[in-house]
């Protein structure tokens, strides 16, 4: 079944382009019925096309865009009636609610409905967060959670006399950015209207439980905003509050209370609704709605598989992001409960299931602090706990969010803190969320001075090395950053086919490792780029090129012995999934020159915006085995 001959199985032509004048705060019976029909149609469509992401294994998010359909359809009616009164953009702080943007692009004839059938696929131009200039009809790039309200303040300044809306959530309101944005919006009398979906759900659970005392309404009232709170599923109440917001000058927040995924059996009120709906639940929902063609389409989808066979690594895969937590648990198990409580504190930022911290939470809840989407504050809290000798904080989140913590990292270093950090989702592999979620600038963590408190960056290559790395550095003083990928990675094999980092292996911080010897030059790599580089090396050898491979698991320490070995080789090629401008390759050439070594030198890394999809990101960036081989052949000429 292909898009070329497949129609979108839900008739989006049934959407009625309603016009509503916010000067009239009461809906007529006809307007109410049209809105109800539009809401149901859009919700059915969102459940369906986000479920295609689940069926294809590229993931996605259903609950957020599904929840906010009522307010979005009313805004759409406002924009159609009086576009000159508004900045007609559905700005949204929760970028994972991208399905809203794609659906509205279709309803405004900027995107064919059939394109939605390729939601989050590689090269479909429908990534997991909206990107301006990539997708027709998308009018802004959302970036990461909680980053849009400050930006929208500036949009309001640039459009005096117009109203600007920003869709928010109780999750995005946990970010410190929004507190700053609220104060500026009030102080400058900006005509910004926040529409906040307050469903008491984030990825890891319910804010009312892990942040007791936090109230979106009270917080925003304290900042000086007028707050209009009500039931987001009560259409008449929602409409009247939106009209009041439009007709009242200044910054106003509409807080819409509702359960997550109202009306979806098996998801309503559950934090599992935050992510993509399962195919099973989507089929059940759509079947109950009479959407037979949509059910048939979902049943027809076959999940694509990576069919390439990588040489030099096994078919045994490990999820390093989970292995981190397992390795920490093994160490904690060897301590007494009193010792654990005295010396270790683990602070989550709503991503425990994605970063391996859930393993620790389950095994040792007495030292685990479930917390909100407050990366900067949570990192600093972990650092403060680890200020005393013999104590350490443990902190984890996505690598993309490391950039948000740079100042806090500096302060932790100046205070001689001991923090073990796990930043998962490093690089680009399996990253359908695309560019804003790439973990590219991880070397920024090494931002201290030469005589500063020690900072070490580690990127283990497979599950065996991850476990060995955690064991080796757990009790070290200083700041330790361990990176892992979203994707599973295969075990690295030695030349005899045995696990390279298997029985008897010990991780030595600061030491590089020869994975394969070579006389014609060396590739230097790490993390998920290592097994791809190893495949390239093995295939080059089959073609008669004797190329070696070096693993550099400690990213920011020069191994002088290995540097001499590489420096005296005919060429050196760094291969990584980090940003080509800020990654290892941007430093390694200087390290060689400082020591008087002048081999032919090149480096490959991420250099362009993403293409969506999963493993497809690597060939898109030119760091897949074929691209590596091509670069080596240029260097050996």
Percent of the chain topping pLDDT 70: 99
Distance of CA 598 to CAs 213, 221, 523, 574, 605, Å? 61, 62, 15, 15, 21
Say which DSSP state 419 is in. E
For 459-484, give the DSSP string.
Answer: --SSHHHHHHHHHHHTT-SSEEEEE-
62 closest CA partner among 264, 353, 296, 294: 264
Structure confidence by residue, pLDDT tens digits, 498-508: 999 999 999 99
Q: In the prediction, which pLDDT does 5 show?
A: 62
Handedness of CA 158, 110, 141, 129 (dihedral sign): positive
For position 637, what pLDDT does the model report? Answer: 87
Write the CA distances from 486 to 96, 354, 427, 551, integer angstroms: 17, 8, 9, 20
Contact residues for 129 (Cβ-Cβ < 8 A; gap 6+) = 95, 96, 98, 141, 142, 143, 433, 434, 435, 436, 437
Residue 425, token pair as written in the block: 């989702």
What is the distance between the alpha carbons of residues 346 and 382, in angstroms, rounded to a whole number? 7
The per-residue pLDDT for range 341-368, each reduced to its tens digit, is 999 999 999 999 999 999 999 999 999 9
Mind listing the pLDDT tens digit for each residue in 229-244?
999 999 999 999 999 9
Crossing angle (nearest 10°) for helices 69-81 and 98-107: 40
DSSP symbol at 267: T
Least confident of 4-18, 62-76, 233-247, 380-394: 4-18
Q: Give the CA-trace dihedral at 340, 341, 342, 344, to 10 degrees.
A: 60
The percent of residues in the chain predicted with pLDDT above 90, rounded, is 97
What integer pLDDT is reported at residue 409 of this predicted model?
98
Query: How confident is the model at residue 2, as a pLDDT?
Result: 44
Structural tokens at position 245: 């917001």
pLDDT score recorded for residue 572: 98
Summarised one tens digit per residue, pLDDT across range 189-246 is: 999 999 999 999 999 999 999 999 999 999 999 999 999 999 999 999 999 999 999 9
Question: How far is C-alpha 38 from the chain's CA centre?
Answer: 31
Confidence of residue 1 (pLDDT cuts 50, 70, 90): very low
- Per-residue pLDDT band for 143 (boundaries 50, 70, 90) equals confident
Whether 68 shows a pLDDT value over 70: the answer reads yes
**Cβ pair 139, 133 in contact under 8 A:** no
Contact 86, 163 (CB under 8 A): yes
Q: What is the mean pLDDT of the chain?
A: 97
For the cut 90, the answer to whether the pLDDT of residue 555 exceeds it is yes
Q: What is the pLDDT of residues 19-55, one digit of tens each?
A: 999 999 999 999 999 999 999 999 999 999 999 999 9
Mean pLDDT on 112-126: 97
Three-class secondary structure of residue 345 per DSSP: strand
Average pLDDT rounded to a whole number, residues 431-435: 97
pLDDT above 70: residue 3? no
With a CB cutoff of 8 Å and minimum separation 6, the contacts of 631 are 573, 602, 604
Interval 304-313 mean pLDDT: 94
Q: What is the pLDDT of residue 146?
A: 87
């Amino acid at each position: 079944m292909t898009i070329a001959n497949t129609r979108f199985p839900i008739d989006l032509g049934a959407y009625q382009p309603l016009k509503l004048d916010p000067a009239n705060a009461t809906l007529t019976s006809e307007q109410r019925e049209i809105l109800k029909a539009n809401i149901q149609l859009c919700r059915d469509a969102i459940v369906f096309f986000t479920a295609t992401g689940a069926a294809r294994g590229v993931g996605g998010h259903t609950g957020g865009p599904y929840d906010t359909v009522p307010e979005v359809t009313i805004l759409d009616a406002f924009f159609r009636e009086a576009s000159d009164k508004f900045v007609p953009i559905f700005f949204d702080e929760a970028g994972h609610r991208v399905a809203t943007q794609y659906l509205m692009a279709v309803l405004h004839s900027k995107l064919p409905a059939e394109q939605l059938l390729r939601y989050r696929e590689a090269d479909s131009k429908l990534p997991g967060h909206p990107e301006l200039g990539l997708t027709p009809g998308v009018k802004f790039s959302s970036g990461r959670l909680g980053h849009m309200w400050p930006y929208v303040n500036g949009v309001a300044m640039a459009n005096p006399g117009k109203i600007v809306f920003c869709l928010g959530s109780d999750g995005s309101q946990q970010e410190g950015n929004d507190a700053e944005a609220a104060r500026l919006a009030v102080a400058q009398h900006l005509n910004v209207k926040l529409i906040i979906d307050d469903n008491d759900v984030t990825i890891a659970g319910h804010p009312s439980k892990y942040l007791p005392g936090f109230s979106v309404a009270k917080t925003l009232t304290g900042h000086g905003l007028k707050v209009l709170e009500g039931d987001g599923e009560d259409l008449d109440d929602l409409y009247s509050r939106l009209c009041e917001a439009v007709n009242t000058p200044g910054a106003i927040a509409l807080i819409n209370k509702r359960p997550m995924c109202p009306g979806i059996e098996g998801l309503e009120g559950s934090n599992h609704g935050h992510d993509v709906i399962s195919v099973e639940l989507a089929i059940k929902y759509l079947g109950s709605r009479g959407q037979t063609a949509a059910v048939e389409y979902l049943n027809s989808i076959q999940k694509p598989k990576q069919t390439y066979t990588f040489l030099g690594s096994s078919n045994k895969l490990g999820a390093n992001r989970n292995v981190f937590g397992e390795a920490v648990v093994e160490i904690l198990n060897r301590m007494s409960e009193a010792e654990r409580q005295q010396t270790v504190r683990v602070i989550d930022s709503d991503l425990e299931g994605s970063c391996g911290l859930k393993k620790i939470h389950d095994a040792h809840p007495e030292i685990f602090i479930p917390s909100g989407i407050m990366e900067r504050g949570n990192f600093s809290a972990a650092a403060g706990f680890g200020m005393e000798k013999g104590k350490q904080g443990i902190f984890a989140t996505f690598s993309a969010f490391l950039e948000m913590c740079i100042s806090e990292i500096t302060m932790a270093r100046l205070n001689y803190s001991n923090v073990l950090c796990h930043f998962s989702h490093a690089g680009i592999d399996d990253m359908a969320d695309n560019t804003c979620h790439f973990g590219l600038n991880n070397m920024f963590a090494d931002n201290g001075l030469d005589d500063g408190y020690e900072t070490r960056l580690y990127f283990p290559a497979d599950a065996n090395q991850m476990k060995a790395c955690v064991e080796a550095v757990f009790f070290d003083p200083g700041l330790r950053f361990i990176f892992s990928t979203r994707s599973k990675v295969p075990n690295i094999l030695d030349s005899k086919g045995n696990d390279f980092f298997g029985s008897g292996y010990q991780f030595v911080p600061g030491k590089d490792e020869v994975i394969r010897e070579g006389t014609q030059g060396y590739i230097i790599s790490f993390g998920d780029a290592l097994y791809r580089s190893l495949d390239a090396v093995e295939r080059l050898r089959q073609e008669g090129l004797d190329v070696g491979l070096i693993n550099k698991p400690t990213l920011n320490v020069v191994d002088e012995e290995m540097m001499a070995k590489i420096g005296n080789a005919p060429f050196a090629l760094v291969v990584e999934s980090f940003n080509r401008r800020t990654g290892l390759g941007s430093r390694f050439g200087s390290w060689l020159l400082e020591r008087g070594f002048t081999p032919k030198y090149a480096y490959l890394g991420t250099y362009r915006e993403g293409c969506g999809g999963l493993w497809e990101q690597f060939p898109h960036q030119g760091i897949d085995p074929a691209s590596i081989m091509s670069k080596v052949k240029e260097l050996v000429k």
